[in-house]
Structure 1
Amino acid sequence: MKPYYIIIFLVLFSACKTVQTLPDPLEAGWEGKKVCEVLNETKKQRILKCTFPPNVGHQKHYHKPHFGYTLAGSTFQITDANGTRTIPVTTGVTWSKDKISEHEVLNVGDSTSVYLIIEPK
């Protein structure tokens, strides 16, 4: 193979693969402590349970496309690409993302909040 073909291949290959430098939600914690645990994991999906007492957050991390469900709500400060905002999250709220997302959160409410995160692999 000619050297310039190798260079073209490497440029195209590197453009297709984004290197993620942030931790995923399981790896990320708060002040050195884990906030998420694996409830179930298969070859096709992972289900996490994440618990945030008052004044506990989740360091900046990324999510693959996922579905989330709020088991117990509270009030959160969220920092992401859109800035920082404070929002009430009520019990039973669901959401989904169809692309990779990044954020940091902090429970600024007075009750413990619990979430399920369901990620396809």
Structure 2
Amino acid sequence: MNNKAAFILVLLLTIGLSSCKNKNSLPDPLEAGWQGNAICEVLEDNKKLRVLKCTFKPGVGHEKHYHNLHVGYTLVGGKFRITDDTGMREVNVPTGYTFSKDSITSHEVLNIGKTTSVYLIMEYK
């Protein structure tokens, strides 16, 4: 293989690999906030997993964002308005509730309850 052929092969591989990355134009849950304020903090970040703690005071939400595959746990529940690809709904999320998604998803949430709600989000890398 000559230099020109090797260059073209490397270029094609680079283009191919870059197209495999997540092309979501939305922020992830750590980048997303509410009215310019951070909602989530990193508790753990390693090669396989990122753990976030997200806190929502009454009237505070989380701008539209995406999640990779994840598992969540409600430390302190509350009442939320959730908007996603299925529409808008209001839900009461109980303390101790566990949830998971096995695909990339996106949504926006707003705490419409009277208490501060706290979640752990564990995202697989």
**Which range, TM-score by smaller chain?**
0.7 to 0.9
Residues 60-94 of structure 1: per-residue CA shift (max 9 Å, x gap): 00000000000000000000000000010000000
The answer to whether residue 107 in structure 2 is matched with residue 103 in structure 1 is: yes
Question: 2: CA distance between counterparts of 1:45 and 1:118?
Answer: 7
The AA in structure 1 aligned to 2:77 is G
Residues 19-98 of structure 1 aligned to structure 2 (within 5 Å): 19-98=23-102
Matched length: 115
Give the deviation of 1:15 after TM superposition: 7.1
Residue number in structure 2 paired with 1:119? 123
Tell me the TM-score normalized by structure 2.
0.84
C-alpha separation in 2, matches of 1:16 and 1:91: 37
Take 1:114 and 1:17, find their aligned partners in 2: how far apart are those partners? 30
Tell me which structure has the larger Cα radius of gyration: 2
Following superposition, which runs of at least 4 residues in structure 1 exceed 3 angstroms of deviation?
Answer: 13-18
TM-score, normalized by length of structure 1? 0.87
Unmatched runs of 5 consecutive residues or more in structure 2:
none
Identity of aligned residues (%): 60
Question: Which 5+ residue runs of structure 1 have no aligned equivalent?
Answer: none
How much is the aligned-residue C-alpha RMSD, in angstroms? 1.9
Match for 1:51: what amino acid? Answer: T
Q: Partner amino acid for 2:118?
A: V
